[in-house]
Amino acid sequence: AQTVTQSQPEMSVQEAETVTLSCTYDTSENNYYLFWYKQPPSRQMILVIRQEAYKQQNATENRFSVNFQKAAKSFSLKISDSQLGDTAMYFCAFMTDNDKIIFGKGTRLHILP
Amino acid sequence: GAGVSQSPSNKVTEKGKDVELRCDPISGHTALYWYRQSLGQGLEFLIYFQGNSAPDKSGLPSDRFSAERTGGSVSTLTIQRTQQEDSAVYLCASSNFAGDGNTEAFFGQGTRLTVV
């Protein structure tokens, strides 16, 4: 069975610092998708960044980037120049085609002024 | 509509009553997912639909929970004889499996269920 593990339940960093959220997963599939979702207090889930497993290049979206290590089954999220608005719950997720999406338990991130 | 719509946004019900939660996915999305999120916790998978079929119901907590999807569109999650431990936010998502690098799941705002 596929699993997603986020080992950091909670983190705090100062505004403008860089923070890395870790995620590992377990699967026997070769082709899949990985996601980081953000859930602010409004509870609306927002896609932050996505990575296709067949792509070796790490995905980037402005201040957000990932370090995808397929062999190690690791998918960490780096937030550069963190902003107060980045305060939220962050979920790592895994999906294969035509199958359910599996989420980690989340990391609660606090950006401190 | 443009996004995933869930109704009601909030529901307070008495213990023992039945409730129905509705999810209207993005038009054309074949996959639909239900998750439960207890206060401050992660997303607990409940059930997943591909079209009108549910290949994976493994997350339904008990036989009091059921879900259906009709016309490959709207889905209803029904909880019978509600218990206080059913209190949570129920999130619905739909997905397109675009296959062009744009695959993602889009979420509704959720239904906050409170059983008193």
What is the CATH classification number for the domain harbouring B93? 2.60.40.10
Domain containing residue B20: 5-99
Each residue's pLDDT tens digit, A9-53: 999 999 999 999 999 999 888 889 999 999 998 889 999 999 999
The domain locations on chain A are 3-112
CA closest to B39 among chain A residues:
A43
Would you identify the CATH topology of the domain A3-112?
Answer: Immunoglobulin-like (2.60.40)
Separation in Å, CA of A43 to nearest CA in chain B: 7
With contacts defined as CB-CB under 8 Å, which chain A residues touch B43? 91, 103, 106
**CA-to-CA distance for B14 and B73, rounded, in angstroms?**
29
With contacts defined as CB-CB under 8 Å, which chain B residues touch A99? 48, 55-56
Residue B58: CB atoms within 10 A of its CB come to 11
Q: Where are the alpha helices (DSSP H) in chain B?
A: none
**CA-to-CA distance for A87 and A109, rounded, in angstroms?**
5
Assigned domain for B24 exists: yes
Q: Which B positions 66-105 lie with beta carbon below 8 A of chain A? A: 89, 91, 93, 95, 97, 99, 101, 103-105
Among B109, B90, B80, B75, which Cα is nearest to B19's? Answer: B80
Residue A15 pLDDT? 97
Query: How many domains is chain B built from?
Result: 1
Nearest CB to B50; choose among A43, A45, A98? A98
**CA-to-CA distance for B45 and B33, rounded, in angstroms?**
8
Taken in order B91, B96, B99, B104, the sign of the CA dihedral is negative
Pull the structure tokens for residue B105.
Answer: 């799941």
Give per-10-residue mean pLDDT for chain B (116 aa).
Answer: 90 98 94 91 91 89 95 95 97 80 85 97
Let me know: does B35 contact B46? Beta carbons within 8 Å. Answer: yes
Residue B103 pLDDT? 78
Each residue's pLDDT tens digit, A92-103: 999 886 678 999
B105 with A52: Cβ contact below 8 A:
no
Nearest CB to A100; choose among B42, B48, B101? B48
Residue B1 pLDDT? 54
With contacts defined as CB-CB under 8 Å, which chain B residues touch A100? 33, 45, 48, 56
User: Please, what is the average pLDDT of chain A?
Assistant: 93
B105 with A102: Cβ contact below 8 A:
no
